[in-house]
Amino acid sequence: MVLTGGGDCPGLNAVIRGIVKRASQENDWEVVGCIESFNGVLREPTEIEILDEKRVEGLQIQGGTIIGTTNKGGPFAWPVKQNDGTWTTVDRSDEMLRKLQYLGIDAVINIGGDGSQRISLGLYNKGLNIVGVPKTIDNDLSMTDYTFGFQTAVQICTDAIDKLVTTAASHNRVFIMEVMGRDAGWIALHSAIAGGADICLIPEIPYDINKVKAKIEQRYNKRRGYCIIVVAEGAMPKGGTVTGTETGEVGYQHVKLGGVGEQLAADLKEAGVEHDIRCTILGHLQRGGTPIAFDRVLATEFGVRAMEFVLEGRFGQMVAYHHPDIVGVSLEEAVRTPHLIDPNERLVHTAKGVGIEMGD
């Protein structure tokens, strides 16, 4: 059984296709997809779908996930409404494992980010034959060089910077582009370098507003000039906190990040920047659409190897890209620490080397 959990990400369908195509080369394996992560098993009636070669034809191109996904709830924290109208969560993992057994599921491949792989680990510790596949546009899983979807998001952001440059230059404006990534600045840093941004603000390096202002002024000759700022949604000023809101959505366990771009614009105005400032929030455009070729290849490799891990009985592992190989790492290691940017790392050095102000 294959399932996709957490936020969607370009390349999920390519992984599913890789799994199904590899399984079809064996005589005695049938692949089913569980709808919306584990919810398809937890719901009554059960929502699972047979995935054969015909169903996955040409899927490497398609964004999203044909079996749906969710970043709410799950077998260990299933939301339940109480009599007084408030919500609580219950652990339905044992019940779910019994149901999987009843359905004759021999193995599960869970395609997802850190939250999903924590669920994989919990279920593996309870005896489930499970293999993880790392996905997220945020690239914040530490045991793989890259997660698929990340490079596509970077490409989308880079294309957006290319477009913003021409309008910024025409109007002598400061443009702030807010990108996703949660607590990791990978999307921001990669796209800032690729797009030739002037300033890049990431969660791992809290910024000094005066440094940002100074760089803006350096980009102008009196009133002529322009400036491109890429800010990660999780970035914050020195001594400040992240900008976000509680969604109030049942089972959603995160603060919804967003708004730092507009906040930065307001702070820059208050700090005395007189140029026009505009803010563009790319939002979910970074997650939609077709994966670029790199992600199609990586996702296909992950899918094929994940199926082979099942055939080899390598459960409790997550497939991972350790250039040039696809290897297995234990789920425990995979979720231990997030992959964040070290302020002393090579890519930050490169960014500073081409004059990008990081705000520190």
Catalytic (active-site) positions: 138
Query: Rounded to the nearest whole angstrom, what is the least distance from the CB of residue 157 to ligand F6P in the complex?
Result: 12
Question: Does residue 71 bind ligand F6P (CB under 6 A)?
Answer: yes
Question: Does residue 180 bind ligand F6P (CB under 6 A)?
Answer: yes
Query: Rounded to the nearest whole angstrom, what is the least distance from the CB of residue 353 to ligand F6P in the complex?
Result: 27
Q: Write the CA distances from 252 to 71, 182, 246, integer angstroms.
A: 7, 15, 9
Question: Does residue 260 bind ligand F6P (CB under 6 A)?
Answer: no
Q: How far apart are CA 37 and CA 132, in angstroms?
A: 13
Other Cβ atoms closer than 10 A to 30? 14
Q: What angle do CA 223, 225, 229 make, to 5 degrees?
A: 120
| Distance in angstroms between the alpha carbons of the first and the last residue of the chain | 47
Instruction: Indicate the residue among 13 and 71 with the shorter CB distance to ligand F6P.
Output: 71
Question: Does residue 287 bind ligand F6P (CB under 6 A)?
Answer: yes
Contact 117, 55 (CB under 8 A): no
Strand partners, 33: 2, 49
Looking at 22, 135, 182, 190, which residue binds ligand F6P (CB under 6 A)?
182
Question: Does residue 136 bind ligand F6P (CB under 6 A)?
Answer: yes
Restricting to residues 31-50, which ones interact with ligand F6P according to CB under 6 A? none
Among candidates 172, 163, 262, 264, which has minimal Cα distance to 219? 172
Scan for tokens 């007189």, then name that residue.
274
Ranked by CB distance to ligand F6P, the top (closest) residue is 180
Strand partners, 2: 33, 109
Looking at 137, 326, 351, 358, which residue binds ligand F6P (CB under 6 A)?
137
Query: Rounded to the nearest whole angstrom, what is the least distance from the CB of residue 3 to ligand F6P in the complex?
Result: 17
300 φ, ψ to 5°? Answer: -65, -40
Query: Rounded to the nearest whole angstrom, what is the least distance from the CB of residue 135 to ligand F6P in the complex?
Result: 9
Torsion sign, CA atoms 188, 191, 193, 199: negative
Question: Does residue 17 bind ligand F6P (CB under 6 A)?
Answer: no
Number of residues that bind ligand F6P (CB under 6 A): 12
Query: Rounded to the nearest whole angstrom, what is the least distance from the CB of residue 234 to ligand F6P in the complex?
Result: 8
Query: Rounded to the nearest whole angstrom, what is the least distance from the CB of residue 258 to ligand F6P in the complex?
Result: 8
Restricting to residues 226-245, which ones interact with ligand F6P according to CB under 6 A? 233
Q: Select the span of 10-18, 124-132, 177-185, 266-274 touching ligand F6P (CB under 6 A).
A: 177-185
Instruction: Indicate the residue among 184 and 277 with the shorter CB distance to ligand F6P.
Output: 184
Q: Select the span of 38-46, 79-87, 125-133, 135-143 touching ligand F6P (CB under 6 A).
A: 135-143
Helix (H) or strand (E) holding 33: strand 31-34
Looking at 36, 138, 308, 357, which residue binds ligand F6P (CB under 6 A)?
138
Q: What angle do CA 99, 102, 107 make, to 5 degrees?
A: 80
Instruction: Indicate the residue among 165 and 288 with the shorter CB distance to ligand F6P.
Output: 288
Among candidates 49, 45, 44, which has minimal Cα distance to 4? 49
Cβ neighbours for 227, distance < 8 A, ≥ 6 positions apart = 168, 173, 174, 175, 198, 199, 215, 216, 219, 220, 275
Looking at 2, 5, 7, 308, which residue binds ligand F6P (CB under 6 A)?
7
Instruction: Indicate the residue among 203 and 237 with the shorter CB distance to ligand F6P.
Output: 203
Q: Which spans of this chain sit near ligand F6P (rule: CB under 6 A)? A: 7, 71, 136-138, 180-182, 233, 256-257, 287
